[in-house]
Each structure stands twice: as structure tokens, then as C-alpha cells.
Amino acid sequence: MSSDLATADSAEPAARRSEVNVWDPLVRIFHWGLVAAFLVAWATGDEMKLTHVMAGYVVIGLVIFRILWGFVGARHARFADFMRGPGAVTNYLRDTAKLRAKRYLGHNPAGGAMIIALLVMLSIIGATGYMMTTDTFWGVAWVQAAHETAVNLTLGLVVLHILGVIVASYEHGENLVRAMITGRKRAGNERP
């Protein structure tokens, strides 16, 4: 019986040994919570004001959390782990177009740039959304226009983000959506 247990124990961990924890639970909760809150806010825009505003506050809270976690969080959650200059992002995108980009365990340079772009845009959406609830900016056309423009630009970034995940998953032979659910990625740079 103990040999059966040893065989069962060694079979399952073989697959897991080739994986490492990359995304901590708070990053994963943030990511999927933000997806849900943004979708609710977007879907309820003018029709369900209270739900829209509450979802907006959730988005703002998540953005604040993510900014703080970018300084004190786990290794791959920290900005220092994935922020690269424009040259590195451009080189990565050029290599991606040729399907020869380097694989990163954490965020790649384009993914890091996307995180910053999304956090900035979500902050603008949150700020202008909040402004529209105040007496000073209630009904001010430029605030509403800025809010709607930021939402539309963010939707474009979301589409680019999803396309980037699809391309990187294909290019590196790994399921990045699964990794953002489980927190685990393949340990080495070799393709399976």
C-alpha cells in the first residue's frame, strides 16, 4: 500500500514540479475583480446609475490597491519587476511580430506597459466619474466627454491586452489565462 502512495505522490507532483507560483492570490483577485467591476460599470452606464457608481468605486478601490501592491507586493506584482523603458517595449513588440520574443516568467515589457496604461486610464475614468457626482462638475460637458473618451480608449486597451495574451500564449506555448487563475506558470523557457 505504501508503494501505491509513493507512486501516486510522484506522478502528480511531476507536472507541478515543472511549474512555479508567479501570480499571488491578491494579484489574481485584483485582476478578475477589476474585470468584473469594469464590465458592470460599462454595462450599466446610463441605465442603472447607482450600480454604475458603485462599480466605479470598486474599480477605484482596486486601482488604489494595485498601485500600492505594485510597491510592496510579491515579486512579480512589483512595478520594479516589469516596468521597462520604451525601447524595451518596442523591441519586445518587434520580436513578437516575428514570433521570437523572449519569454518572461512575470509580465513581459509589453504587458508591463499595458498595466501602466490601464491603471492610468482607469484612474482618469475614476476621477472624471467622481467629478460628475459633485456639485462643481455636475453636467459639465468636458468632464463627461473626458470620461466617455477614457472609457472608449480603455476598451481599446482591453482588446489589445486580450490579443497580447492570445499571441503570447501561442508564441510561448502556455495558457496565460489559466496562469492568471491558478497563479502558476511553466518554470523554464523551453516549450512543452
Give, for 20, the enclosing helix (H) or strand (E). strand 19-21
Q: Within a domain: residue 12? A: no
DSSP string, 174-191: S-HHHHHHH-EEESSSS-
Q: How far is CA 69 from CA 65, 106, 181, in A?
A: 6, 15, 18
With a pLDDT cut of 70, the percent of the chain lying above it is: 89
Q: Within a domain: residue 133? A: yes
Angle formed at CA 117 by CA 106 and CA 55, multiple of 5 degrees: 100
Nearest one of 60, 174, 41, 71 to 126, comparing CA atoms = 60
Structurally, how many domains does the chain consist of? 1
Range of the domain at 36: 18-186
Reported pTM: 0.85
CATH number where 161 lies: 1.20.950.20
Dist CA 139 CA 135 (whole Å): 9
Dist CA 187 CA 97 (whole Å): 24
Instruction: Dump pLDDT digits (tens) for 3-26.
Output: 444 444 444 455 555 889 999 999
Q: Within a domain: residue 146? A: yes
Instruction: Dump pLDDT digits (tens) for 100-155.
Output: 999 999 999 999 999 999 999 999 999 999 999 888 878 789 999 999 999 999 99
Q: Within a domain: residue 88? A: yes
Q: Within a domain: residue 191? A: no
Give, for 21, the enclosing helix (H) or strand (E). strand 19-21
